[in-house]
Homo-oligomer: A and B are copies of this chain.
Amino acid sequence: MSSSPKLRVGLLGATGTVGQRFILLLSGHPNFEISVLGASSSSAGKAYKDAVAGRWKQVKEIPREVKDVVVGDCSVDRFKQCDVVFSGLDSGPAAEYEHVFRAAELRVFSNAKNYRQDPLCPLIVPLVNPSHLEMVRTQQASLGLQKGFIVTNANCSTTGLVIPLAALEQKFGPLELVIASTMQAISGAGYPGVSAFDVHDNVVPFISGEEEKMEQEAAKILGHVQGGRFVNAGIKMSAHCNRVPVIDGHTETVSVRFLNRPPPDAEQVKEALRQYTTEAQQLKCHSAPERAIIVHEEPDRPQPRLDRDAQNGAGVNVGRIRQCPVFDIKFVVLSNNVMIGAATSSVINAEIALAKGYLS
């Protein structure tokens, strides 16, 4: 694939936290080439490096080829020539722009929450349900479009959780009940995001709207498409969401009950998670991790500081797989909220769409 000419990429919300991650992921990408950068009017007209001056909060430097690209506003005319548009917009501007881009026949891969529960828009975790991409055709037919569509990816805390859940369902059949408690990183709230005064030496046991997102998104992602409609999975989930003083990496403790009896034991679960591979790997997508799930045997892993950067944050880490005295199995999952939990998901989704012919 890398011998084809690269697709021209537009980026909405290029200067924000998620936008900066898109910039790093797309730099040197074999299939995509950053072509147009859009941001708020305060950045318009500035070179990218000036637009993010004092706000570039990445450990890596701004890629050379992007530094002097002039940022513009998000008017659709500027993006007309783009083959793909990634949106790192917050939900406010996303509501304003994304549907306009789609109406202008642009393909939008969005990290915003706005269209996640839309009956026409796929909500795709690339290591779980890329098959939902087929709804793109229904979406286009319904709206009378040839090329334009919106594909969304999930909330960061949902993403980390549904990957092992999908692996379990693939091997052992439907899950009936899930109770999950999260310990979410500071970076999940963007920048400036969480006040240090609130989270330093502290736990904040509340993230507005987060528990509802997890409970609702999981049902759609783990569901299926039938007759041009999304059919939710029957799984019942309860989420407890907490913010903890960790810079990157969402840790979640999970107890699950399977529908089929008898349920698998811990060793069978470990084996199933280890063996789980997905279309993203089979299609050899550039940004996909080698292993969807790294299973840890050490008693005290995964840990965010030590494991969040494995595979450049594109897979998830699962450990402490053991019997649950109340349900069947319990475990810990760690995912990199700014990578597979955000920009990396959008990019792999686009890579899969490219491989499966949705971008031609």
Name the interface residues of A231-261: CB closer than 8 Å to any CB of B: 236-238, 240, 242, 244-247, 251, 253, 255
Q: Is A198 interfacial (CB-CB < 8 Å)? A: yes
Which of B177, B192, B240, B300 interacts with A181 by CB under 8 Å? B240
Q: Are A238 and B326 in contact (CB under 8 A)?
A: yes
Instruction: Give the chain B neighbours of A208 by CB distance below 8 A.
Output: 299
Q: Are A247 and B201 in contact (CB under 8 A)?
A: yes
Q: Are A204 and B303 in contact (CB under 8 A)?
A: yes
* Chain B proximity mask over A110-140: 1 for CB below 8 Å, otherwise 0: 0000000000000000000000000000000
Name the interface residues of A319-334: CB closer than 8 Å to any CB of B: 319-320, 324-327, 330, 332
* Chain B proximity mask over A162-197: 1 for CB below 8 Å, otherwise 0: 000000000000000111010100110001111111
Q: Are B205 and A247 in contact (CB under 8 A)?
A: no
Which B residue sits closest to A306, measured CB to CB? B59
**Smallest CB separation, A204 vs chain B (Å):** 6
Q: Is A298 interfacial (CB-CB < 8 Å)? A: yes
* Chain B proximity mask over A298-313: 1 for CB below 8 Å, otherwise 0: 1111111110011000
Which of B200, B299, B306, B310 interacts with A186 by CB under 8 Å? B200
Q: Are B251 and A320 in contact (CB under 8 A)?
A: no
Once the chains are docked, how many angstroms separate the CA of A319 from the CA of B244? 17
Q: Are B246 and A300 in contact (CB under 8 A)?
A: no
Q: Is A92 interfacial (CB-CB < 8 Å)? A: no
Q: Is A203 interfacial (CB-CB < 8 Å)? A: yes
Q: Are B203 and A246 in contact (CB under 8 A)?
A: yes
Q: Are A196 and B200 in contact (CB under 8 A)?
A: yes
Instruction: Give the chain B neighbours of A242 by CB distance below 8 A.
Output: 183, 251, 253
Once the chains are docked, how many angstroms separate the CA of A113 from the CA of B97? 43
Instruction: Give the chain B neighbours of A245 by CB distance below 8 A.
Output: 196, 200-201, 244-246
Q: Are A203 and B59 in contact (CB under 8 A)?
A: no
Instruction: Give the chain B neighbours of A236 by CB distance below 8 A.
Output: 325-326
Which of B58, B179, B192, B215 interacts with A195 by CB under 8 Å? B192
Which B residue sits closest to A206, measured CB to CB? B300
Which B residue sits closest to A53, measured CB to CB? B298
Instruction: Give the chain B neighbours of A61 by CB distance below 8 A.
Output: 310
Q: Are B238 and A202 in contact (CB under 8 A)?
A: no
Q: Is A57 interfacial (CB-CB < 8 Å)? A: yes
Q: Are B215 and A240 in contact (CB under 8 A)?
A: no
Q: Is A95 interfacial (CB-CB < 8 Å)? A: no
**Smallest CB separation, A188 vs chain B (Å):** 10
Q: Is A199 interfacial (CB-CB < 8 Å)? A: yes
Name the interface residues of A70-98: CB closer than 8 Å to any CB of B: none
Once the chains are docked, how many angstroms separate the CA of A303 from the CA of B324? 28
Q: Are B57 and A247 in contact (CB under 8 A)?
A: no
Which of B57, B298, B300 interacts with A197 by CB under 8 Å? B57
Once the chains are docked, how many angstroms separate the CA of A247 from the CA of B248? 14
Which B residue sits closest to A190, measured CB to CB? B197
The 9 closest A-B pairs by CB, nearest first: A181-B181, A192-B195, A240-B253, A206-B300, A202-B305, A238-B326, A196-B196, A205-B332, A201-B201
Q: Given A179-B255, A242-B251, 15 more contacts at CB 8 Å?
A: A57-B198, A179-B326, A181-B253, A183-B203, A187-B197, A192-B192, A193-B197, A195-B195, A197-B247, A200-B245, A200-B247, A202-B305, A206-B320, A236-B326, A247-B305
